Amino acid sequence: MSLHSENKPLSAVGKLMIVPTPLGNLGDMTPRGLEALRTADIVYAEDTRTTAKLLSAFGIKTHIARLDENIMDTLAEQVIDEVLGGRMVAYCTDAGMPGVSDPGLRLVSCARKHGANVEVLPGATAVCTAYVASGFTNPRFYFGGFFPRKKGEATALLESLASLDAVLIFYESPKRIVSALNIVSEALPMRRVSVCRELTKVHEEVLIGSASEIRDLLSARQENEGIKGEMVFCIDCANALETKGKQEDSVSDASKEAVLMLKAGIAPKEAVLRIKERFGIPRNTAYEIVLNAKIS
């Protein structure tokens, strides 16, 4: 069953077009994206009001229908049936690249499952914009979507990612950014962070410093005038001091473990292998640790 009342003629070959929209500045809308919205038989949107404003700004009159988180699982297959039936279907989220931490990913998955044509247009994305704006130089980044709301889950996630040689990037609400930074300051106290607010908009702001510094700054702002705007924050990879501290901790723990192994009658050669594997340290270092433990 069709989800719209338009009687536009079917295209020869249907297609699902994933159309990125500006993060805030309409000047970032690409000509190719505008053409897709103009030629589509229908535009499905995460929020029809937001997308209607975008289309109106560019004089586009294509019919819009809602397709958000609450109804995506129920209606995705019907939308893809339209594509398979020959319709040109565009999909937009509120801002940025559809499919990045939003229900658009499930629509693309459904299209792939049923063999429908999919075209993903390049365009604005807050993840890459925030990564570059941070100035952090590690060539790799990890995007974790929205930061966990529960402190235990957030702490566990940061601890699991602490050794990753990459910049960590998360979305966060302005209402929770202070508590999120407090968790980061406890779990990764030596890391630099970058908090990007209102990217590409008039009041764009990029704050860079330690998690505790930015937390205190935003906490004071929250108590006074409040915090508004879309937010993305980045956590830099481990610096030299943090890496050195972790290495010293590993050697200390390995030394204690080596003493216990030798007292338990484990052969030095076997102890070296176990220390190497358990603590992830070079064989020569493990050998020296076991040798020192044997002497002492």
Task: Note whether residue 8 is domain-resident.
Answer: no
Contact (Cβ atoms closer than 8 angstroms) between residue 104 and residue 116:
no
| 169 or 296, which is more confident | 169
Identify the domain boundary among 54, 87, 120: 120
Task: Note whether residue 96 is domain-resident.
Answer: yes
Distance, CA of 287 to CA of 283 (rounded, Å): 6
Q: Give pLDDT tens digits for 66-100.
A: 999 999 999 999 999 999 999 999 999 999 999 89
Distance, CA of 1 to CA of 16 (rounded, Å): 17
| CATH number of the domain within which 217 lies | 3.30.950.10
What is the model's pLDDT at position 11?
46
Q: pTM score, two decimals?
A: 0.75
Contact (Cβ atoms closer than 8 angstroms) between residue 239 and residue 191:
yes
Task: Note whether residue 257 is domain-resident.
Answer: yes
Convert 169-186 into a string of H (helix), E (strand) and C (coil): EEEECCCCHHHHHHHHHH
Q: Give pLDDT tens digits for 235-247.
A: 998 875 565 555 5
Distance, CA of 224 to CA of 81 (rounded, Å): 51
Identify the domain boundary among 238, 263, 286: 238
Model confidence at 250, pLDDT cuts 50, 70, 90, reads: low
| CATH number of the domain within which 56 lies | 3.40.1010.10
Identify the domain boundary among 120, 144, 164: 120
Among all chains, which residue has been given the structure tokens 């070296």?
272
Task: Note whether residue 178 is domain-resident.
Answer: yes
Residue 172 lies in domain = 126-238
DSSP assignment, residue 96? B
Among all chains, which residue has been given the structure tokens 């309409």?
26
CB atoms within 10 A of CB 126: 24
Q: Give pLDDT tens digits for 112-158.
A: 999 999 999 999 999 999 999 999 999 999 999 999 999 999 999 99
Task: Note whether residue 70 is domain-resident.
Answer: yes
Same domain, 134 and 219: yes
| Total domain count, the chain | 3
Convert 21-75 into a string of H (helix), E (strand) and C (coil): ECCCCHHHCCHHHHHHHHHCCEEEECCHHHHHHHHHHCCCCCCEEECCCCCHHHH
Task: Note whether residue 5 is domain-resident.
Answer: no
Residue 272: pLDDT over 70: yes
Task: Note whether residue 2 is domain-resident.
Answer: no
Contact (Cβ atoms closer than 8 angstroms) between residue 275 and residue 281:
yes
Angle at 237 between CA 213 and CA 249, to 5 degrees: 95
Model confidence at 253, pLDDT cuts 50, 70, 90, reads: confident
Same domain, 92 and 175: no
Task: Note whether residue 6 is domain-resident.
Answer: no
Same domain, 210 and 280: no
Same domain, 218 and 187: yes
Same domain, 113 and 26: yes
The closest alpha carbon to 203, from 78, 37, 23, belongs to 23
* Token pair listed for 169: 């990037």
What is the model's pLDDT at position 8?
43
Same domain, 136 and 114: no
Residue 254: pLDDT over 80: no
